[in-house]
Amino acid sequence: MSGSSSVSLQARLRAAAPRLGPFAGRVHHRPRVGSTNDVAAELAGRGAPHGTVVVAEEQTAGRGRHGNRWSSPPGAGLYLSVLLRTDSPPVLTLVAGVAVAEALAQAAGLDAVLEWPNDVVAEAVGRLPGLREGPHRDGREGRRRRKVAGILAEASTVGHRVDRVVLGIGINLRDGEWPPQVASRAGSVEGLTGRRVDPAALLVEVLAALAARCAELEAGRVGALLRRWEALAPSSRGASVEWSEGPVRRRGVTEGVDEQGALIVRVEGRRERLSGGEVRHVG
The reported pTM is 0.88
Enclosing domain of residue 260: 236-281
Residue 224 pLDDT > 80: yes
Query: Do residues 77 and 123 share a domain?
Result: yes
Query: Do residues 226 and 251 share a domain?
Result: no
Contact 30, 56 (CB under 8 A): yes
Buried b (16+ CB within 10 A) or exposed e, 24-58: bebbbbeeebebbbbbbbebbeeebeebbbbbbbb
Query: Do residues 210 and 251 share a domain?
Result: no
For a pLDDT cut of 70, what percent of the chain falls above it?
87
Q: What is the pLDDT of residue 67?
A: 58
Query: Do residues 146 and 251 share a domain?
Result: no
Would you give the distance in Å from CA 184 to the centre of its chain?
19
- Residue 72 — pLDDT band, cuts 50, 70, 90? confident
Query: Do residues 169 and 245 share a domain?
Result: no
Partnered with residue 25 across adjacent β-strands are none
Domain tally, the chain: 2
Query: Do residues 259 and 221 share a domain?
Result: no
Q: What is the pLDDT of residue 139?
A: 39
- Tens of pLDDT, residue by residue over 100-153, are 999 999 999 999 999 998 899 998 654 444 444 333 343 334 457 899 999 999
Query: Do residues 17 and 117 share a domain?
Result: yes
What CA–CA distance (Å, rounded) separates 114 from 132?
22
